[in-house]
Amino acid sequence: MKLHPLGLAICLALSSTAALAAGNHGHDPKFGGVVVETKAGDLEIVAKPDAIVIYVSDHGNPMKLDGAKAKVTLLNGTDKSETELLPAGDKLEAKGAFKVAKGTKGVAVVTLAGRPPATARFEVK
């Protein structure tokens, strides 16, 4: 069986267009943080010296955080610190004094009600 080159080109063009449309979910940060895709949803992690905040969304739509919790581990060289985050309206939040600077690495473990924990690695920009 011989494939017609024009038919093949049309099939390739249509399949690549569909793939590009399916992959565009707007993963740009909305709150100045770092966006990480996880099985629980998209996490935008905002780490500042006075607060750590995680916004959870599903394809750009905020998710309900009733019963949710999170734990963030910050790594600065050999220094390691952990903090718990609790729901605060449309986000998970912890306030305090945190050692956060450009290059700080972190691991967030987010648990939404009725779902297994999701892990996200990030680096402060």
CA distance 113 to 122: 23
Average pLDDT over residues 92-113: 96
Can you give the pLDDT at residue 18? 42
Residues 6+ apart with CB under 8 A from 121: 36, 105, 106, 107
Read off the pTM.
Answer: 0.78
Closest CA to 92 of 122, 47, 49: 47
* DSSP-based three-state secondary structure for 21: helix
Name the E strands within the chain. Answer: 34-38, 41-48, 51-58, 61-62, 69-76, 79-88, 91-95, 105-111, 118-123
Quick check: 11 pLDDT over 70?
no
Tell me the pLDDT tens digit for each residue of 30-48: 999 999 999 889 999 999 9
CA distance 89 to 74: 23
